[in-house]
Amino acid sequence: MDYPIHRPRRLRKNELLRGMVRETAISPDALVYPVFIKEMDEREIPVDSMPGISQFSPDGALDEVEAALNAGVKAILVFGIPQKKDEAGSGAYDKNGIVQRAVRGVKSRFGDDILVITDVCMCEYTSHGHCGVIKDGYVDNDESVKLLARSALSHVLAGADMVAPSDMMDGRIHAVREILDLHGDYNIPIMAYSAKYASCLYGPFRDAAESAPQFGDRRSYQMDPPNAREAMREIELDIEEGADIIMVKPALFYLDIVRDAKERFDVPIAGYSVSGEYAMIQLAVQKGWLDYKRAVLESTTSIRRAGADIIITYFAKDLCRWAKEHTL
């Protein structure tokens, strides 16, 4: 036969055909939008290293959540920046802390129209910028876990729909599940930052959350980038301890880990497309090197295609808006 029987290009002829056989779709239901809320007089302060992203006061955050809802966003991930920090990160578990007040405000205004997930960590609240209590120059795991559990409970008491421990301390999922269950909050799900790597891609986030470590780094508790089998062990432990959703962070540089987790574990998988990934696309677009919409869609689709059921992304508002306009 002069010509091949199989011609895959037949199904790529136009957008209608391509859409008919498209294997991977991005749904607004799967997207989570991070929001930075800070104790401050200004309603909004742009983050220089993350074009289009800002810190918001509690009042300003209400306007941002409303804008996100109008775009089609259905879930937010809340990060708090307190006015004062101390060695013990006491603002993290203060019932009147910035996250606790912000959550009460958001739930009071929007109720069940928005799913509120709270990041549970200490780095934004400690004067040293590490994710737990420091003893002899080292983050004390077990003492930190106690405070992280208190923090998670305080978020739930304020109205959080889900908590997301991001600290990478050993045993913290068990401690959080235990304290929530003892308080009767056994219906509150936990999304665990299970495979959180010590990545170079967090710099812009640390500007936004004002959480850079004041000495050393976080490689003694966040995962070593070359390790894949260890990620599966971390995920397995978090599931055993009570995690309902597990997360891989960063997403784009660790798509192999997302895929391995999807194939191995029968729980929802979240991928966090982190600040560095966001900033790289934004800066390349500003230089005229990339088409914004195509870059955002392609990068986000790759995370979904790798197996992520949930995608945490700073592009969530635009993605949801494009979905409403039927231009995804």
146 is catalytic: no
Annotated active-site residue in 38, 74, 85, 196: 196
**Are 209 and 202 a contacting pair, CB within 8 Å?**
no
φ and ψ at residue 122, rounded to 5 degrees? -115, -15
Spatial contact of 160 and 116, defined as CB atoms under 8 Å apart: yes
Half-sphere exposure of 136 (CA within 13 A, CB side): 2
Which of 38, 85, 249, 262 is catalytic? The answer is 249
**Cβ-based neighbour number of residue 127 at 10 Å:** 13
Long-range contacts of 105-112 (CB under 8 A, 24+ apart): 105/58, 105/59, 105/61, 105/62, 106/61, 106/62, 106/65, 106/76, 106/78, 106/159, 107/158, 107/159, 108/159, 109/62, 109/65, 110/65, 110/66, 110/69
Cα separation, 117 vs 189, whole angstroms? 10
Burial class of 249 by CB neighbour count within 10 A (0 to 12, 13 to 18, 19+) = buried
- Encoding tokens for residue 203? 């710099």
Helices 98-110 and 141-158: angle between axes, nearest 10 degrees: 30
Is residue 196 annotated as part of the catalytic site, yes or no? yes
d(CA 302, CA 307): 9
- The DSSP annotation for 171-205 comes to THHHHHHHHHHHTT-TT--BEEEEEEB--GGGHHH
- How far apart (Å, rounded) are the C-alpha atoms in residues 35 and 77? 6
Residues noted as catalytic: 196, 249
